[in-house]
């Protein structure tokens, strides 16, 4: 499968881990980000701690667009000859042959200026799952065009990251990948970042230093540039498809 650069309005697809919408972590994340990626329902954020609503919405704007998730295969447009149904069928077959992954403990961390949940210790099983997703589904990926490559290169990539960008369309894959569940955009000011971290400690206190069960492989879809990603399908690792139509969690 191959093809020319995608049309400007082509949808993009990504393979993510995301907690099931009825799980406590998903409920807390939906309230923090102001959007439920399974239902697509959104609501305004409330002021919290020293932050007004407008500032919190700015801090969470980027992860709100993508939905609460951990990336396994970065967003991609489909190449010529590949259809959405082809991708879903392939993901279902792949997921059926994999086992769920248990991460013993998750913690809050700062990564390049943004806040995220990360494993307290590296997980070889999680790394293998992500590596396999990158490699196995690359046949569906439309190659990055020059504007996309230039945008990625503006981040001052290392030589190895440049190699990965050219080969896989993204610089932070394989050994350059780190599993993380993004909670904020970049916050340059250290004092403000510390205040956000304190707020996150309170909001997500029940999930810090606790295990994380990675049970599903999710397909998220972005219909057009700038539009929010939505969870369109979930496949249980070990077999079985589960499509979510969960409503916004009650207060």
User: Alpha carbon 17 to chain centroid distance?
Assistant: 7
The half-sphere exposure of 13 on its side-chain side, counting CA atoms within 13 A, is 24
The residue with greater pLDDT, 244 or 122, is: 122
Distance from first CA to last CA of the chain, Å, rounded? 46
98 vs 238: CA distance, rounded Å: 5
Say whether pLDDT at 218 is over 90: yes
Taking only the tens place, the pLDDT of each residue in 96-143 is 999 999 999 999 999 989 999 999 999 999 999 999 999 999 999 999
- 103: part of which helix (H) or strand (E)? strand 101-103
pTM for the model: 0.90
Distances (CA, A) of 210 to 33, 95, 123: 21, 25, 15
DSSP bridge pairs for 202:
none
Taking only the tens place, the pLDDT of each residue in 163-172 is 999 999 999 9
**Signed CA dihedral, 116, 179, 225, 90: sign only:** negative
Q: Domains of the chain, with CATH numbers?
A: 12-242 (3.90.1140.10)
The count of other CB atoms within 10 Å of the CB of residue 97 is: 10
Say which range, 3-12, 24-33, 49-58, 86-95, has the weakest mean pLDDT: 3-12
Taking only the tens place, the pLDDT of each residue in 9-38 is 789 999 999 999 999 999 999 999 999 999
Taking only the tens place, the pLDDT of each residue in 184-212 is 999 999 999 999 999 999 999 999 999 99
The packing angle between helices 124-136 and 84-96, to 10°, is 150
Question: What pLDDT shows up at residue 148?
Answer: 87
**Signed CA dihedral, 78, 179, 162, 225: sign only:** positive
* 8 A C-beta contact, residue 155 and residue 172: no
């Amino acid at each position: 499968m191959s093809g020319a650069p995608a049309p400007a309005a082509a949808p993009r697809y990504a393979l993510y881990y995301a907690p099931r919408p009825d799980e406590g972590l998903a409920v807390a994340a939906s309230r923090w980000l102001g959007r439920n990626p399974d239902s697509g329902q959104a609501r305004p954020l409330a002021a919290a701690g020293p932050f007004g609503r407008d500032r919190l919405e700015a801090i969470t704007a980027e992860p709100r667009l993508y939905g609460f998730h951990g990336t396994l295969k970065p967003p991609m447009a489909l190449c010529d000859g590949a259809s959405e149904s082809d991708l879903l069928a392939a993901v279902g077959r792949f997921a059926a042959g994999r086992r769920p992954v248990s991460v013993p403990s998750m913690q809050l961390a700062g990564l390049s200026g943004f806040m995220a949940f990360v494993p307290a210790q590296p997980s070889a099983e999680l790394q293998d799952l992500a590596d396999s997703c990158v490699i196995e589904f690359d046949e569906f990926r439309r190659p990055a065009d020059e504007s996309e490559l230039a945008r990625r290169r503006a981040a001052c990539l290392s030589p190895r990251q440049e190699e990965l960008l050219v080969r896989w369309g993204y610089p932070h894959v394989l050994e350059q990948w780190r599993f993380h569940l993004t909670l904020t955009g970049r916050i340059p000011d250290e004092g403000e970042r510390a205040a956000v971290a304190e707020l996150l400690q309170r909001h997500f206190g029940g999930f810090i230093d606790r295990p994380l069960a990675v049970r599903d492989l999710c397909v998220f879809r972005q219909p057009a540039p700038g539009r929010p990603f939505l969870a369109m399908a979930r496949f249980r690792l070990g077999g079985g498809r589960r499509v979510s139509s969960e409503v916004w969690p009650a207060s």
